[in-house]
Amino acid sequence: METMISVHSALELIINHVKSLPVAVMQLEKANGLVLAEDIYAPENVPAFPQSSMDGYAFAFDDNRSDYKLVGEIAAGSKQTFELKQGEAVRIFTGAAVPLAADTVLMQEKALIESDKLTVNDESLNKGTNLRSIGSEIKKGTKALEKGTVLKPATIGFLASMGIAKVKVYPNPSVGILVTGNELRLPGEDLEYGQVFESNSFTLQSALNQMNINNVTIYRSEDNLNQLQTLLSQILEVNDLVLISGGVSVGDYDFTMSALEKCAVNPIFHKIKQKPGKPLLFGMKTEKVIFGLPGNPASVLTCFYEYVLPAIGIMTERNVKLQTKKMVLTQEYHKQVGMTHFLKASHNNDLVYLETGQESYKLSSFANANCLAIIPENASKIESGQEIEVHLFPF
- What pLDDT is recorded for position 394? 86
Number of structural domains (the chain) is 4
Residue after which a domain boundary falls, among 270, 300, 316: 316
99 plus 211 within the same structural domain: no
Main-chain phi, psi angles of 231, to 5 degrees: -65, -40
- What pLDDT is recorded for position 334? 97
Full domain range(s) for residue 126: 51-132
Nearest residue to 393 via CA among 360, 350, 354, 347:
347
144 plus 196 within the same structural domain: no
Peptide bond into 173 cis (omega under 30): no
- What pLDDT is recorded for position 252? 46
Output the 3-class SS for 33-70: CCEECCCEECCCCECCCCEECCCEEEECCCCCCCEEEE
- What pLDDT is recorded for position 395? 77
Q: What is the CATH number of the domain that holds 382?
A: 2.40.340.10
Strands 351-354 and 166-170 turn out to be unpaired
239 plus 299 within the same structural domain: yes
120 plus 166 within the same structural domain: no
* Positions in the chain whose pLDDT score sits under 50: 252-253
Three-class SS of residue 102?
coil
- Residue 24 CA to its chain's centroid (Å): 17
- What pLDDT is recorded for position 295? 87
Three-class SS of residue 365?
helix
State which amino acid sits at residue 31.
A
The Cα-based distances of 68 to 87, 293, 373 in angstroms read 5, 76, 72
Q: What is the CATH number of the domain that holds 245?
A: 3.40.980.10
Whether this prediction's pTM lies above 0.85 is answered by yes
Count other C-beta atoms under 10 Å from residue 211's C-beta: 16
- Are 60 and 83 in contact, with CB atoms under 8 Å apart? no
- What pLDDT is recorded for position 250? 63
102 plus 150 within the same structural domain: no
Give the distance between the most distant pair of CA atoms in the chain: 96
Nearest residue to 14 via CA among 234, 392, 290, 386:
290
Residue after which a domain boundary falls, among 73, 103, 132: 132
Alpha-carbon dihedral of residues 199, 202, 204, 207, nearest 10 degrees? -130
265 plus 196 within the same structural domain: yes
Helices (H), the chain: 7-17, 153-161, 200-210, 225-238, 256-262, 297-303, 309-316, 364-368
Alpha-carbon dihedral of residues 186, 189, 195, 198, nearest 10 degrees? 10
186 plus 254 within the same structural domain: yes
281 plus 193 within the same structural domain: yes
Rounded-to-integer distance, Cα 86 and Cα 99, Å:
12
- Are 307 and 14 in contact, with CB atoms under 8 Å apart? yes
Nearest residue to 391 via CA among 377, 376, 366, 370:
370
Three-class SS of residue 16?
helix
Write down the number of H helices and E strands in the chain. Answer: 8, 30
Helices (H), 148-289: 153-161, 200-210, 225-238, 256-262
| Helix, strand, coil tally for the chain in percent (to 5) | 20, 35, 45
Residue after which a domain boundary falls, among 316, 349, 380: 316
271 plus 339 within the same structural domain: no
- Are 302 and 310 in contact, with CB atoms under 8 Å apart? no
Main-chain phi, psi angles of 373, to 5 degrees: -90, 130
178 plus 296 within the same structural domain: yes
222 plus 281 within the same structural domain: yes
126 plus 158 within the same structural domain: no
Beta bridge partners, 325, equal: 390
